[in-house]
Amino acid sequence: MQDKREELRQGNTIDASKLSTQNTFFTDAAWNLQGSQNENEGAQAGIGVYIQLKQGYSKLQASISATGMTANSAVQAEALGLKLAANLLESLHIQEAAVLTDNLTVAKAAAARSPRKEPGNWQIRSYIADFCAMTEFKNIQVYHVNRDQNSIAHEAARLAITQDHVASPIHRFSCTNPVHTRGHCRLLQRLMHTQMQGFVLLRVNCFSD
């Protein structure tokens, strides 16, 4: 049997259901160069984040679709996903969480927390550096998950780059969580009123299981 500590070493591939953290942020990106006007200028990244919070906000789940800055590669778009997660941690005042990505290069680089010594890939260096700086004083662990565990974030990311959204961004925030009294969803309140460093939140859906 594999050693449990070895299994949960940051940057490694884990089974998300085995995590004991209170809060989990799944991130994914959708990126397609064919949709861009000029291939040399890259393409806008669609970012999806699926949040599970087990404390502070009562128990909640939320899926977030956002557009990020222009990315020049898929790995760069995935690194933007981590940077959005760092922004969300900040705006929700969350101190402790596991951040998950299905890109192993991004997971390894962020887990190393040494973007200068271990940049992983030069294209992601600045985003990983931003992620590390923004989460420096928090208890944040970064792991890799297989794509089949990341399907909600994946769908949220795809939604962000569908043609409709690119043409006319719909800023849509909704809460169907029965314990959040109508109009008093703290998650939405926080996210509606925070600037996200180059990200535009297209859709935020708060729900419970």
Binding site for Zn ion (CB under 5 A): 175, 177, 180, 185, 187, 206
CB count within 10 Å of CB 2 equals 6
Q: Which residue's CB is nearer to Zn ion, number 125 or number 186?
A: 186
For Zn ion, give the closer residue by CB, 60 or 124: 60
Report in angstroms how near the CB of residue 205 gets to Zn ion at its nearest: 9
CB 184 to Zn ion: min, Å:
8
**Can you tell me the distance from the alpha carbon of 23 to that of 7, in angstroms, rounded to the nearest whole number?**
19
Q: Which is nearer to Zn ion, 65 or 101 (CB)?
A: 65
Q: Is 21 exposed, middle or buried (0-12, 13-18, 19+ CB in 10 A)?
A: middle
User: How near is the Cβ of 61 to Zn ion at its closest, in Å?
Assistant: 9
- Residue number, 51 or 157, with CB nearest to Zn ion: 51
The helix (H) or strand (E) run that includes residue 53 is strand 43-53
Measured from the CB atom, the residue of 30 and 175 that comes closer to Zn ion is: 175
150 vs 177, which CB is nearer to Zn ion? 177
Shortest distance, position 187 Cβ to Zn ion, whole Å: 5
Q: Any bridge partners for residue 48, and if so which? A: 28, 65
Beta-strand pair 60-71/200-207:
antiparallel
Query: Starting from the edge strand earliest in sequence, which strands make up the sheet with 96-101, in order?
Result: 139-144, 96-101, 23-30, 43-53, 60-71, 200-207, 172-175
Distance CA 148, CA 132 (A): 26
Q: How far is the CB of 188 from Zn ion (least distance, A)?
A: 6
Q: CB 27 → Zn ion: shortest distance, Å?
A: 20
* C-alpha to C-alpha distance for 142 and 21, rounded to whole angstroms: 11
